[in-house]
């Protein structure tokens, strides 16, 4: 995510949210003493507010980021249901898909937060009022008619199941039938098998373990769950440890997150669903989608309650993050040695490639993206200016080494850059022993440096040959410039 253009696809797409709608009440106050007639704190209320939660909060976040959002859910014929609907409509969300079921009570959650002498605000108690109840026959028929009217024109359909009985296998099958072209994204608190064969499934560690019928999450739980669900993509949130991405086509990735000061964790899950939906509609690859989800969840937990998250603050935070990452991507050998060792200890694959990367062009970027997809970390060895001159002649490089390194470090697919002086990176390869050595262009196993090949094969690494894009090379680009402007 580089700028506000990232949000344009969302603003041009209709998104349907199908799921459970709650109304959360927040009381913020001060707790300064204990009641004389019992060991309970007395909270003096300072402020009080109500806000749609669960699918309602995700709808608000997506609408705030510019999406055209349709919410399809149910409420009771009660005050909480009307309050939630009014709030959603005030924020531009289409609520014509909301069904009022007189036999149902709108789920509510009361959260009391209080501060006091010597401690910051914190949630003291949470009161849930909810029931598990299937929709009445009339309500189910009305919901289906509204799904049939709205879903076929939606780019993505997001199911959010809080286990109130609204979503079942029959409803999921019906949605598949009427919206076969939409991206199907699912999040279920207690019934992940409902999301079988979804395009995208979102879960956390405890939900994953429960779905597998196991006591705890393990390192291979995510891959096994994705295969069991037959999902194309599975995102698993690990809280402060980031997010893992499990793919039908591609390697498993672990995407770290930056540590943030936590105000409370209310709404973090909904923020992740909204972020993943936004990123996938924008066409981001899975690892960048996870980065954006981590960023958005970090904003959510740094604010009280179900807070607004704006495009402007996400863009600003991403720009700040990119600047910090770029500053740390150009590394020395001791720094890189430590990073690679940590990666290997955790069982993740390190990819190495090298080159001059003089006058960066789209061919370079396509190649580096392919190389990054082979593993969990991409290290680029960059020939120094002296090294380039030794085999390309005195007129090269066109761009000096620090500038070339800076350009490489700005690419999200590149994790680290190290500049080397020799004609061959064989010393660095011997030192780091990357799992995969990627070579591009017109190389084949017989034309690559055979000393490098023997070294990689000796320590058990793999050489990956990635074909280049015809007509895309720095030399070709220089020839075109000379021909055009001579």
Residues 62, 78 contacting (CB under 8 angstroms) = no
Strands 14-19 and 156-161: parallel
Using alpha carbons, select from 145, 29, 22 the residue that is nearest to residue 87: 22
On whether both 113 and 248 belong to a single domain, the answer is: yes
| Co-location of 88 and 197 in the same domain | yes
Q: Which residues sit opposite 353 in a β-bridge?
A: 380
Cβ-based burial of 318 (10 A; exposed 0-12, middle 13-18, buried ≥19): middle
Q: Do 96 and 211 belong to one domain? A: yes
pLDDT at site 72: 98
Cα–Cα dist 118/95, whole Å = 44
Read off the tokens for 452. Answer: 């490098």
Same-domain status, 47 and 105: yes
Residues 311 and 384 in one domain: no
- Which residues are CB-contacts of 360 (< 8 A; sequence separation ≥ 6)? 399, 404, 407, 408
Domain finish residue from 279, 303, 324: 324
Q: Distance (Å, rounded) from C-alpha 275 to C-alpha 296?
A: 6
Q: Cα separation of 290 and 294, whole Å? A: 6
Q: What is the DSSP string of 65-79?
A: TT-EEEEEEEE-SSH
319 plus 353 within the same structural domain: no
Alpha helices in 162-309 (DSSP H): 169-178, 205-212, 221-229, 268-281, 286-301
Distance CA 286, CA 291 (A): 9
Peptide bond into 397 cis (omega under 30): yes
pLDDT value of residue 131: 85
* CATH code, 360: 3.40.50.620
Instruction: Measure CA of the first residue to CA of the last residue in the chain; give whole Å.
Output: 38
| Residues whose CB is less than 8 angstroms from the CB of residue 453 and which lie 6 or more positions away in sequence, other chains included | 445, 463
Using an 8 Å Cβ cutoff, are 151 and 16 in contact? yes
Cα dihedral 46/51/54/57 (nearest 10): -110
Question: Quick one: 260 and 368 in the same domain?
Answer: no
Burial 369-383 (b: 16+ CB within 10 A, else e): bbbbbbbbbbbbbbb
Query: Residue written as tokens 């669900």?
Result: 229
Last residue of a domain, one of 274, 290, 324: 324
Written as six digits, the tokens of 327 are 């500053």
Per-position pLDDT tens, the chain of length 486: 555 577 888 889 999 999 999 999 988 888 878 887 777 888 888 888 899 999 999 999 999 999 999 999 999 999 999 999 999 999 999 999 999 999 999 999 998 888 765 555 677 888 999 889 999 999 999 999 999 999 999 999 999 999 999 999 999 999 999 999 999 999 999 999 999 999 999 999 999 999 999 999 998 999 999 999 999 999 999 988 889 999 998 778 888 776 665 555 678 899 999 999 999 999 988 988 998 998 888 888 777 778 888 888 888 777 776 666 566 889 999 989 988 988 887 778 999 999 999 888 888 998 999 999 899 899 999 999 999 999 889 988 999 999 999 999 988 889 999 999 998 999 999 999 999 999 986 777 888 889 999 999 999 999 999 876 666 677 777 788 888 887
pTM: 0.71
| Domain-ending residue, one of 293, 324, 355 | 324
Using the 8-state DSSP alphabet, how is residue 411 labeled? Answer: S
| 295 and 360 share one domain | no
Question: Nearest 10 degrees: CA dihedral of 174, 94, 311, 272?
Answer: -30
**Rounded Cα–Cα distance for residues 104 and 111 (Å):** 22
Number of structural domains the chain divides into = 2
**Do 107 and 74 contact (CB within 8 A), yes or no?**
no
In angstroms, the Cα distances linking 61 to 64, 100, 219, 269, 297 are: 5, 23, 31, 12, 11
Q: Which residues are bridge partners to 108 per DSSP? A: 23, 129
Q: Which distant-in-sequence residues (6+ apart) come within 8 Å of 157 by Cβ?
A: 15, 16, 18, 151, 175, 179, 182, 183, 184, 185
Element spanning 108, H or E: strand 108-116
Beta bridge partners of 346: none
Same domain, 377 and 307: no
Residue 276 and residue 261 in contact, taking contact as beta carbons nearer than 8 Å: no
Q: Residue 329 in contact with residue 363, Cβ under 8 Å? A: no
Shared domain check, 47 and 142 = yes
How does strand 377-383 pair with strand 416-420? parallel
Half-sphere exposure of 340 (CA within 13 A, CB side): 25
Element (H, E) at 376: none
Name the nearest CA neighbour of 269 among 290, 253, 293. Answer: 293
Residue-level pLDDT at 33: 81
pLDDT of residue 470: 65
Closest CA to 65 of 24, 97, 93: 93
Cβ-based neighbours of 38, under 8 Å, separated by 6 or more: none
Angstrom distance (rounded) from CA 60 to CA 14: 14
**In this structure, are 298 and 381 located in the same domain?**
no
| pLDDT in the model for residue 123 | 78
Structural domain for 479, as ranges: 330-485
Q: Where are the beta strands (DSSP E) in 13-93?
A: 14-19, 21-34, 41-54, 68-75
Pairing mode of beta strands 21-34, 41-54: antiparallel
Residue at token pair 């793919």: 247
Say how many CA atoms lie within 13 Å of 30 toward its Cβ.
6
Contact 349, 375 (CB under 8 A): yes
Residues 313 and 441 in one domain: no
Residue 44: CATH number of its domain = 3.40.1190.20
């Amino acid at each position: 995510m580089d700028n506000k253009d990232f949000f344009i696809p969302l603003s041009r797409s209709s998104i349907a949210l199908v799921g459970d709608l709650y109304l959360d009440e927040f009381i913020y106050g001060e707790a300064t003493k204990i009641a004389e007639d019992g060991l309970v704190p007395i909270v003096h209320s300072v402020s009080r507010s109500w806000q749609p939660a669960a699918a309602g909060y995700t709808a608000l976040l997506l609408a705030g980021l510019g999406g055209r959002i349709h919410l399809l859910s149910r409420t009771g014929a009660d005050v909480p249901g009307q309050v939630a609907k009014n709030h959603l409509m005030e924020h531009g969300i289409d609520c014509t898909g909301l069904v009022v079921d007189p036999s149902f009570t709108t789920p509510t959650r009361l959260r009391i937060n209080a501060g006091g002498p010597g401690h910051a605000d914190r949630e003291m108690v949470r009161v849930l009022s909810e029931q598990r109840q299937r929709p009445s026959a009339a309500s189910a028929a009305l919901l289906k008619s509204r799904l049939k009217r709205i879903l076929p024109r939606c780019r993505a359909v997001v199911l959010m199941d809080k286990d109130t009985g609204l979503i079942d296998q029959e409803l999921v099958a019906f949605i598949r039938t009427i919206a076969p072209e939409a991206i199907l994204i699912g999040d279920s608190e207690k019934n992940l098998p409902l999301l079988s064969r979804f395009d995208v499934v979102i879960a956390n560690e405890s939900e994953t373990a429960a779905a597998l019928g196991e006591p705890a999450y393990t390192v291979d739980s995510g891959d096994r769950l994705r295969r069991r669900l037959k999902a194309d993509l599975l995102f698993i949130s690990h809280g402060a440890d980031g997010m893992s991405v499990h793919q039908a086509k591609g390697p498993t990735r672990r995407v770290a997150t930056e540590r943030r000061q936590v105000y409370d964790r209310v709404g973090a899950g909904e923020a992740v669903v909204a972020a993943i939906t936004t990123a996938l509609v924008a066409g981001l690859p899975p690892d960048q989608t996870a980065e954006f989800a981590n960023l958005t969840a970090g904003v959510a937990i740094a604010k009280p309650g179900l807070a607004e998250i704006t495009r402007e603050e996400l863009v600003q935070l991403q720009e700040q993050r990119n600047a910090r990452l770029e500053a740390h991507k150009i590394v020395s050998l001791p720094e890189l040695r430590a990073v690679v060792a940590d990666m290997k200890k955790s069982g993740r694959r390190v990819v190495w490639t090298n080159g001059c990367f003089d006058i960066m062009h789209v061919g370079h970027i396509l190649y580096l993206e392919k190389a990054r997809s082979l593993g969990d970390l991409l290290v680029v060895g960059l020939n120094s200016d002296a090294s380039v001159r030794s085999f390309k002649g005195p007129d090269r490089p066109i761009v000096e080494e620090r500038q070339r390194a800076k350009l490489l470090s700005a690419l999200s697919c590149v994790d680290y850059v190290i500049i080397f002086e020799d004609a061959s990176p064989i010393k660095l390869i011997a030192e780091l022993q990357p799992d995969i050595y990627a070579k591009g262009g017109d190389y084949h196993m017989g034309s690559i440096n055979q000393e490098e090949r023997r070294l990689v094969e000796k320590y058990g690494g793999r050489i990956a040959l990635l074909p280049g894009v015809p007509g895309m090379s720095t030399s070709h680009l220089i020839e075109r410039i000379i021909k055009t402007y001579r």
